[in-house]
Amino acid sequence: MSEIATMNVKDQFLSTFGVQDFHFDTAASKAARDEATKRIEGLDFPTSKTEYWKYTRINRILKAEYTIAESAANIDITPFLIKGMENNILVFVNGFYRSDLSTITDQKGVIACPLSEAKKKHAKLFASYFSKKVPVDEIFANINTAFHQDGAFIHIEKKQKADHPIHIINLIDGDQIITNPRNLIIGEAFSEGKVVTSYHNLNGRKSFTNAVNECFAAENSFLEFNKLQEENGTSFHIATDQVQQEKSGNFTINTFTFNGDIVRNNLNIAVAGENGYTSLNGFYLPKAKQLVDNHTRVDHLVPHCESHELYRGVIDDKATAVFNGKVMVHRDAQKTNAFQANNNVLLSDDATINSKPELEIYADDVKCSHGSTVGQLDEEAIFYLKARGLSEDSAIRLLLNAFAADVLQHIGIETFRQLIEEKIETGLKK
Amino acid sequence: MIKIENLHASIDGQPILKGINLEVKPGEVHAIMGPNGSGKSTLASVLAGREEYEITEGSVTFEGKDLLELGAEDRAREGIFLAFQYPVEIPGVSNINFLKTAINEIRKYKGEEPMPAKDFLKRVKEKSALVELDNSLASRSVNEGFSGGEKKRNEIFQMAMLDPKLSILDETDSGLDIDALRIVANGVNKLKSADNASIVITHYQRLLDYIVPDFVHVLYNGKIIKSGPKELALELEEKGYDWLKKEEALEV
Amino acid sequence: MASEDELLAEVTSSEYKYGFYTNIESDKAPKGLNEDIIRLISAKKNEPEWLLEYRLSALKAWQEMIEPEWAHISYPKPNFQDLHYYSAPKPKKVLDSLDDADPELLEMYKKLGISIDEQKKLAGVAVDIVMDSVSVKTTFQDKLYELGIIFCSFSEAVQKHPDLVRKYLGTVVPKTDNFYAALNAAVFTDGSFCYIPKGVRCPMELSTYFRINEANTGQFERTLVIADEGSYVSYLEGCTAPMRDENQLHAAVVELVALNNAEIKYSTIQNWYPGNKEGKGGIYNFVTKRGLCETNAKISWTQVETGSAVTWKYPGCILKGDNSIGEFYSVAVTANHQQADTGSKMIHVGKNTKSTIISKGISAGVSNNSYRGLVNIGKKATNARNFTQCDSLLMGDKCGAHTFPYIEVGNKTAKVEHEATTSKIGEDQIFYCLQRGMDEQTAIGLIVNGYCKEILNQLPMEFAVEAQKLLEISLEGSVG
């Protein structure tokens, strides 16, 4: 006991992972783990003085105790299924793959399997993409690289279209579970595909999901990646979403956050090929004392690219939302068009929003703009609807749905969009 | 006054003008007509000195000088005026200040003293009446918040103020209603003298009901394929451009 | 109109116009910063005990603080022990009239274009000239005195109006507010003090010309403006600095207090020496400016920033009283190697408070120009409104323009709007001007002045003219 008491927060936190045995891991994977472990030694957890984490205190995440535990329970996954996507699901419980719950239908030119399998079966692909672009100075991303259990591996071959979107389901079963889920998604040149990853908590309390999603969108590929975060109100979630986009690529990422005690998303997109089109969108609906923090960063590294960002949120009760969007236009990225908007509605007197849209521009021939608004619903509009016979409650819901609709239109999977609409509808019901 | 010989110009390696020949003498009004994309506006831009265009062949002599050697501002100072198809908005800069700066820069170029404020204001009053331009427009920011018609009238007002030798009117009639068209044309006609000349670029014959040209040229695919007296415009109005295109195709 | 055009004609050399060095004997404290130096400064100025205590506690706080690094600027950190913290021109004798002033000083004012002879005749402008740290001469004082307006050097105020100074000093910018403010609180030597009594509308613009003159002398002005209930004052501050090779530190603090129904308009033209084309030399300008608004009060900041090698400055308003209003209008130009990280802070505390931020940044050369602003709507600030617009204009492809707004809202009835755009100076606009016979430099001057018009319009006439001139001189040779 006394020995533990003298350990610092970082060592204490890392000691949780000591129980894991990576003995049977492949050499390439082990090498990546070792490198990350070494980097972690030189890194510290952010504090409130770390500008990048200014509004999000993570002491509560770090001070909790966690366990790593597989679950063999027979789980009914039907509540988490998305209509039309039932035949392409990869299910992970507490971070471990459950083949008994997963269903994968073969699609030509598409690999969808657990990462653990890909490490062996697709060793070459794994070695050339895994952990290649993840930020080296982010402690949480490094922890994931060092201690990840499993995750999804999705690869779409050159010129192939994945007709059926793939759904990655992440479930937590048990108290104080910690997971490091790791997804690797690769769209080769001229390929096309759509993926959804969703995070849910069955029953446990105080879980911590430390996720990393790596996406590679090669030349002229069309990739859409959707995230649904709805773990319960005692769960923590920190995600690093790393995107590398090549020439003429078209990449869309949509992030929907409906639940979680503290949720932090770090989305980094490197637009590294000319003529790219990037769309990043989010909708958040924090309640109670929840905190949702979306940090996005788009790096325009080359000329003639366009990015569109739209994040919207409705903040209720004593919840806090944070938006920090950075658009960085590098020296050579002439003719960049970058647009960013963050709109917020506060529903209660105790709700808080901290919005920080940033532009950092080093090229002169660009068109960049950002806007951020915080406001209430238009009183006039509410009155108008009431005058037409709607109750105040349904008037408000109608307007909020319209507010969300602009974000939702970026979802390319119809049934998933409907699901999100329903979740917003339910989320807004008191 | 201006002599254009075998002028070839391209943008981003794409040839647009493919051998233009045209001579305009003092006192003359030339109309250049042609279907969309034939190179009309390119010709205007090239003459005014827009740098995006590359001159690959040919020459342009203006009042004995090699025009192509001059920068855009020096062409303006020598007396070339372009009435823009899309006049540019300059927020915060008043029309008056803009014009005064322009006039005095031109005078400086000619070795003249700046125009005394009193003379300048008198001139503003006189010339704005010519295009029935509201006095308040003169003190508003250049083209900002102007209606389409106001912008075009403002172009003619500037032309009157700067008193150029050669005016190039690039689609000045586009987007104008009958009244505005009449005002604009009226202004142009009143400014006409034996010493100056105009090139009127237009897609429709309508403007030529008001500004009567001495010559009409048809530009198609980067070349002047037909020239004639003012009646040619009427013929074009009636028959369209297709018969000329066919003729051109036959020749090739 | 004529004046605008005269300006255009006047644009000539691109070298810093005001770079000269006047040789005046000065009374200097030894280099370094410690308790003894503070005691020396305080003793030299014959200060009361409470002010010495104030300075000493600020020094103690400062010693515990570290220089902030979050701003988007980089520069060699000053060695705070290698500076002189006190220097004053030696008084030759008490001046009865301007004719008795040091001829060298008068010569300097002439070079600055603010010759006192002229200023004296210029009705409506009272000038308090701060030369290094000590106020030399104040004009129009008697006239103001009749209205009960106090406008004098800070030192004089400490002697003659200690109660007022004690009551308000450090109430808007606490001595522990930030690193530079703490430094200033410890070592400030002089500055301006202004008090407008209840219900009085100050009939003239109050001006202060600042100037750094002595090599290696950090300058730490302290300005305190108090507008009592229902009063109004417009305060102008303009500065130029002589050319110097070594970097010079400038860490001023300005505190404004607008009591119920009062209004303060505070305008600044900042043209400290920006360093040469290679980025050598130039002033470090780390300024803390803040105003406090009580009920129905209004504070309006206007600034035109063209100078300094490094600028770190966020004039702000604490909108404490209900219905109070804060405004910030800014033009910040950076050319060559200049760096600016500037913007505003609007803290909404009271109900129905309103704030507006209009910021125009222009970057040229290899400079970096950042807007950093905070809008904070507190829990109790019902119906607060903010509108922020920040535009950046880029000239050349080696400069940077950045926008870092912080929006913190804790009240659901708030309405906050932030808009930002970044664009290149329009090629179409330049071509349009060229086609009308202007050369490129004239065209750019014209377009830039147009772009900044909203801000320049906020300035009093004579300042607006000076500001326009500065903009053009600063941007000369920036395109091409």
DSSP string, A195-212: EEEEEEESS-SS-EEEEE
Answer whether A276's CB lies under 8 Å from A267's CB. Answer: no
- Where in C243-367 does DSSP place strands (E)? 248-250, 253-258, 263-271, 283-293, 298-305, 310-313, 316-319, 325-334, 339-342, 345-348, 354-363
Q: Inform me whether the C-beta atom of residue C49 falls under 8 Å from chain A C-beta atoms.
A: no
Q: Could you tell me how many helices (H) and strands (E) chain A has, helices first?
A: 10, 21
The CA distances from residue C207 to C124, C193, C267, in Å, are: 10, 11, 9
The answer to whether the Cβ–Cβ distance between C408 and A368 falls below 8 Å is no
DSSP element (H, E) containing B234: helix B231-239
Query: What is the rounded CA–CA span in Å between residue C271 and residue C308?
Result: 7
Q: What is the pLDDT of residues A269-301, one digit of tens each?
A: 999 999 899 999 999 999 999 999 999 999 999
Residues of chain C with pLDDT under 70: 1-27, 87-142, 208-218, 239-247, 462, 477-480
pLDDT at C273: 79
The torsion angles phi and psi of B98, rounded to 5 degrees, stand at: -60, -50
Strands A96-97 and A88-93: antiparallel
Q: Confidence band (pLDDT; 50, 70, 90) for B251? A: low
Please say if the pLDDT value at position B189 is more than 80. Answer: yes
The set of residues, in sequence order, having a beta carbon less than 8 Å from that of C158 and lying 6+ positions away, is: C45, C47, C48, C51, C165
Buried b (16+ CB within 10 A) or exposed e, A41-54: eebebbeeeeeebb
The CA distances from residue A155 to A88, A111, A123, A148, in Å, are: 14, 5, 13, 19
Read off the pTM: 0.79
Task: Say how many C-beta atoms besides its own lie within 10 A of residue C286's C-beta.
Answer: 25
Distance (Å) from the alpha carbon of C426 to chain B's nearest alpha carbon: 9
What percent of chain A lies above the pLDDT cut of 90? 76
The answer to whether the Cβ–Cβ distance between B93 and C449 falls below 8 Å is yes
Half-sphere exposure of A22 (CA within 13 A, CB side): 20
The torsion angles phi and psi of C220, rounded to 5 degrees, stand at: -130, 80
Residues facing C305 on adjacent strands: C270, C332
Answer whether B228's CB lies under 8 Å from B209's CB. Answer: no
The set of residues, in sequence order, having a beta carbon less than 8 Å from that of A241 and lying 6+ positions away, is: A212, A213, A215, A225, A227, A253, A255, A265, A266, A267, A268
The set of residues, in sequence order, having a beta carbon less than 8 Å from that of C12 and lying 6+ positions away, is: none
C contact chains, 3+ CB pairs < 8 A: A, B
Look-up of token digits 């300059």: B90
Q: State the ipTM, two decimals.
A: 0.88
Answer whether C188's CB lies under 8 Å from C158's CB. Answer: no
Which residues in A lie closer than 8 A to residue C414 (C-beta atoms)? 346, 374-376
List, as one string, the DSSP characters of A91-113: EEETTEE-TTT-EE--BTTEEEE
Answer whether A425's CB lies under 8 Å from A404's CB. Answer: no
Query: What is the rounded CA–CA span in Å between residue C136 and residue C210?
Result: 12
Write the CATH number for B141: 3.40.50.300
Look-up of token digits 């004009």: C139
Find, in chain C, the residue whose alpha carbon is nearest to that of A50: C70
Give the closest residue to B53 by CA, choosing from B38, B39, B73, B65.
Answer: B39
Answer whether C137's CB lies under 8 Å from C182's CB. Answer: no
Answer whether C14's CB lies under 8 Å from C476's CB. Answer: yes
Q: Is C11 exposed, middle or buried (0-12, 13-18, 19+ CB in 10 A)?
A: middle
List, as one string, the DSSP characters of C422-466: EEEPPHHHHHHHHHTT--HHHHHHHHHHHHTHHHHTTS-HHHHHH
pLDDT at C128: 53
Q: Confidence band (pLDDT; 50, 70, 90) for A319? A: very high
Q: How many CB pairs under 8 A join B and C?
A: 88
Look-up of token digits 């009127």: B200
Query: What is the rounded CA–CA span in Å between residue A271 and residue A298?
Result: 7
pLDDT at A161: 92
The answer to whether the Cβ–Cβ distance between C450 and B141 falls below 8 Å is yes
Give the closest residue to A356 by CA, choosing from A342, A339, A376, A346.
Answer: A342
Q: Inform me whether the C-beta atom of residue B101 falls under 8 Å from chain C C-beta atoms.
A: yes
pLDDT at C132: 43
**CA C23 to centroid of chain Cα atoms:** 25
- Measure CB to CB from residue B101 to each of C432, C442, C454 and give the nearest one: C442
Please say if the pLDDT value at position A16 is more than 50. Answer: yes
DSSP element (H, E) containing A262: strand A262-271
Residues facing A344 on adjacent strands: A313, A374
Q: What is the pLDDT of residues A323-345, one digit of tens each?
A: 999 999 998 898 899 999 999 99
- Number of domains, chain B: 1
Q: Inform me whether the C-beta atom of residue B106 falls under 8 Å from chain C C-beta atoms.
A: yes
Which residues in A lie closer than 8 A to residue C421 (C-beta atoms)? 368-369
Q: Is C43 exposed, middle or buried (0-12, 13-18, 19+ CB in 10 A)?
A: exposed
DSSP element (H, E) containing B195: none
Give the closest residue to A200 by CA, choosing from A261, A139, A283, A259.
Answer: A259
Distance (Å) from the alpha carbon of C273 to chain B's nearest alpha carbon: 28
Residue A92 tokens read as 């992970």
Angle formed at CA C154 by CA C149 and CA C156, multiple of 5 degrees: 75
Least confident span in A6-20, A161-175, A303-317, C240-254: C240-254
Q: What is the pLDDT of residues B92-144, one digit of tens each?
A: 888 888 998 899 999 999 999 999 988 998 999 899 888 888 777 777 888 88
Query: Can you tell me whether residue B143 is helix, strand or coil?
Result: coil
Query: Can you tell me whether residue C209 is helix, strand or coil?
Result: strand
The residue range of the domain holding B204 is 2-251
The torsion angles phi and psi of A319, rounded to 5 degrees, stand at: -75, 160
Give the closest residue to C367 by CA, choosing from C405, C332, C419, C315.
Answer: C332
pLDDT at C26: 58
pLDDT at A235: 95
pLDDT at A267: 97
Which residues in C lie closer than 8 A to residue B87 (C-beta atoms)? 432
pLDDT at A51: 83
pLDDT at C244: 54
Which residues in C lie closer than 8 A to residue B92 (C-beta atoms)? 449-454
DSSP element (H, E) containing A374: strand A367-375
Buried b (16+ CB within 10 A) or exposed e, A143-178: bbbbbbbbbbbbbbbeebbbebbbbbbbbbbbebbb
Q: What is the pLDDT of residues B133-169, one digit of tens each?
A: 877 777 788 888 888 888 899 999 999 999 999 999 9
Distance (Å) from the alpha carbon of C9 to chain B's nearest alpha carbon: 10
pLDDT at C32: 82
Strands C253-258 and A178-179: unpaired
Angle formed at CA B227 by CA B221 and CA B229, multiple of 5 degrees: 145
Report chain A's mean pLDDT, rounded to a whole number: 92
pLDDT at C33: 86
The answer to whether the Cβ–Cβ distance between A355 and C409 falls below 8 Å is yes
Distance (Å) from the alpha carbon of B229 to chain C's nearest alpha carbon: 30
pLDDT at A302: 95
Query: What is the rounded CA–CA span in Å between residue B109 and residue B115?
Result: 13
The answer to whether the Cβ–Cβ distance between A353 and C408 falls below 8 Å is yes
DSSP C38: H
Distance (Å) from the alpha carbon of A350 to chain C's nearest alpha carbon: 7
The set of residues, in sequence order, having a beta carbon less than 8 Å from that of B214 and lying 6+ positions away, is: B28, B29, B30, B229, B230
